[in-house]
Amino acid sequence: MTYDYRIAASLSDLRHVDLRATFASLGVVVPNDEPMKYPQESLLASGHVRGLGLPQVFWHWGFLTEASYDTLKGFCAEKSANVYIRTLSEDREWRDYQGILIWPARPQFSAGRVLDFTLLIHGLVDQGDE
């Protein structure tokens, strides 16, 4: 499977023909992803369960170089930022989303690396096919 994780500040950048938004171009290794199609569940009176909320995804790295960390930080100068990402959906399809990236509270720096690093991108709105 070819991994096509991307991140950009705009949809046009995300889909730019020079592939500037791919992690390969950014020099960031691909993350483990943990997509949630429905971040909240509601048990219905009928016994069924309804999934609620906008999709979200956790991107997790066992470690990142500080250079990769800085590259990602460039998309989120504050505690959170609007971003566009390409990631695998819960149905394991590549989808483009607009969402809000939440920067973690306490990154662990160690010998030029950042350990056990997780980004949450929530409020994902599907941008449709390219």
Partner 1 sequence: MTQVATAPQLEMIRKNGQAAKLYVAALTPAVVYSARLNGLPTLGTDLVAEITYDGGSGTLAEIKAGMTLYVGTSPGGQELGTCRIRKSPTSTIMYIGEQSLIVWVDNCYLTVVLDYELWPKHVHITEDGSVQMDYDVDYVDQHSNFLPVPIMGGHVVKKLTGETVTVQLGPESGTSSYVYGSTISARLWEIPGADSIATPTAASTTAVFSAEGWYPVYHTVTAANGRSKTGMRWVYIWSDEQPPLAVEEISFREDAQEGGHSFELTVSGDANLTQLYDRTLCILFAVDYFEGLEDQVGFILGQENIVGVGRIVSPESLVFGFNSSRASFTVESAQGLFKRITGFPSGVEMKNTPTVWTDMPALTVARALWHLLEWRCTATEIMDVLLPEDTRYASELSSPLTYLWDQMQEIAFTSILASAGIDAHGRLFIQVDALLIPESSKTYPLVMTVEKQDIHSYEINRATETSTSQVVLSGVAVTLGGDGKAYFSLSPGHIFSRVGSPVIIDRLLLASQAQANELAGLLFSSKNNPYSLKLEFSGNNRLVTCFPNQAIYFTVEADDNVRGFEIAGRYIPRRRSIAYDPQNFVITSEVEFEYETSAAVAINGDVPGSGDLSAPPPFPKFPPMPSLPPLLSGLYDPTVLDGGHPRWLMVDRGSTSVGLVYTANFDNDRPDYYTVNAGLTADQYKNINKIIQCPSGAIYVASVRGHADAFVARADGVGGTFEILWDNDIKESVYPGVNNVVLGLGYNPLLPETVMFVTVGPANETGAVHLGVGGTFSITQELSNVIAPGSITWGLDQWLFTPMYWSFGPNAGGKLMPASADSFVPTPVQPGWYTNTAHQRLGTSGYTLHHSSNSGILQLGTNNLTTLTDIGTVPLSIPTEELAMTPDGQFMMTGGYGSANKGKTSDRGYTWVDIASLPYVGNIWVFRYDSGKLAESRWVAGSSYIYYSKNFGGTWVSKQGNMPYLSPFYQITNILKIY
Tell me the window of 14-22, 27-35, 52-60, 107-115 that interacts with partner 1 (CB under 8 A): 52-60
Q: Which of 20, 34, 50, 116 binds partner 1 (CB under 8 A)?
A: 50
Tell me the window of 13-21, 32-40, 62-70, 107-115 that interacts with partner 1 (CB under 8 A): 32-40
Structure tokens at 88: 């695998």
3-state secondary structure of 72: helix
The least distance separating partner 1 from the CB of residue 70, rounded to whole angstroms, comes to: 26
Q: Which is nearer to partner 1, 76 or 124 (CB)?
A: 124
**CA separation for the pair 49, 46 (Å, rounded):** 8
Instruction: Return residues touching partner 1 (CB under 8 A).
Output: 37-40, 42-46, 48, 50-56, 82, 122-126
